[in-house]
Amino acid sequence: MQAKTPREQKDFTYHFGNVMEQVKSASLYLIPEQAPGALEALLQVMVAKKVDADEWVQHHRDAGQMKRESLIGVATAYCAQAGREHHANHQDAAWTYLVEAAYYAGAALYAKSLEQAWPEVERATARAAVAETRSKGGMARNAGWKRIEDEAVKLVRIHGERGQRWSTERKMAVSIRAELWPFASREMPGIAEKRYVQTISDRLKSRHNDIAMYLDKKRAASC
């Protein structure tokens, strides 16, 4: 029997190119009237302005503007951020953002096929379209955030048992920042410090049963 040829190893640049082709195909399908090179120009602008993809998508969701065409912008923003993280040698973050870009490109095409806006697509099975692109990078990111979340709860408990109380989860996040940030930056080298407070606050809210005894809502009312 003839020996099987070893599978060629594909690097980040190869997969980045493939995902950009997916985004470009989705863009041309959804917006056929766009000018040639429009997507590439958008990518360069997002790279130059260092657009934070997570904040960009949250802004559009909050504004109720997450339509089919907006998903292409989201996918492009994640491609731009993936490239930046790769050049900064934050490889776990780079792969994770690249997976997000592929996901949103697939979601845009799925939304078009259903003639639905984003909220309905997210509740349907759009994620199945890109499930095969889920990587170890994405799983590593989730695991890293879980460890950061557990450490945050532990620190809240330590200070809470010493008598400290907080009026909101956000104030909890601010008060443990000095202790948690070194741990968080080791677990997630690509984590953005400017998003720390909101992210940790949201994580603590999801663990309400673990930290509720250290919350004093009366303080919030009196502030």
| Same domain membership, residue 111 and residue 153 | no
Give the Cα separation of 213 and 78 in Å (integer): 38
- Kindly provide the residue ranges of all beta strands, DSSP E only, lying in the chain, ordered along the sequence: none
Pair (147, 124) in one structural domain: no
Q: Mean pLDDT by 10-residue block, N- to C-terminus, for the chain (223 residues)?
A: 55 88 83 80 87 78 62 88 90 86 80 52 46 50 79 91 90 89 78 74 88 75 44
Give Dmax (Cα) for the chain: 80
What's the pLDDT at 62?
Answer: 60
Tokens 């949250």 -> residue = 58
Residue 65 confidence (pLDDT): 54
User: Could you tell me if 23 and 125 lie in one domain?
Assistant: yes
As for how many domains the chain has, the answer is 2
- In 3D space, the residue among 175, 160, 162 whose CA is nearest the CA of residue 211 turns out to be 160
Please tell me whether residues 23 and 126 are part of one structural domain: yes
Q: Tell me the C-alpha distance between 70 and 218, whole Å.
A: 41
Burial 107-141 (b: 16+ CB within 10 A, else e): bbbbbbeeebbbeebeeeebeebbeebebebbebb
Shared domain for 80 and 145, answered yes or no, is no
Domain span at 176? 140-222
**pTM value?**
0.49
Answer yes or no: is 1 within a domain.
no
Please tell me the predicted confidence (pLDDT) of residue 113. 58
Residue 67 has a pLDDT of 66
Tell whether 30 and 118 lie within a shared domain.
yes
**125/85 same-domain check:** yes
Do 56 and 96 touch, CB atoms closer than 8 A? Answer: no
Q: According to the model, what pLDDT value does residue 132 have? A: 43
Task: Please check whether residues 45 and 97 belong to one and the same domain.
Answer: yes
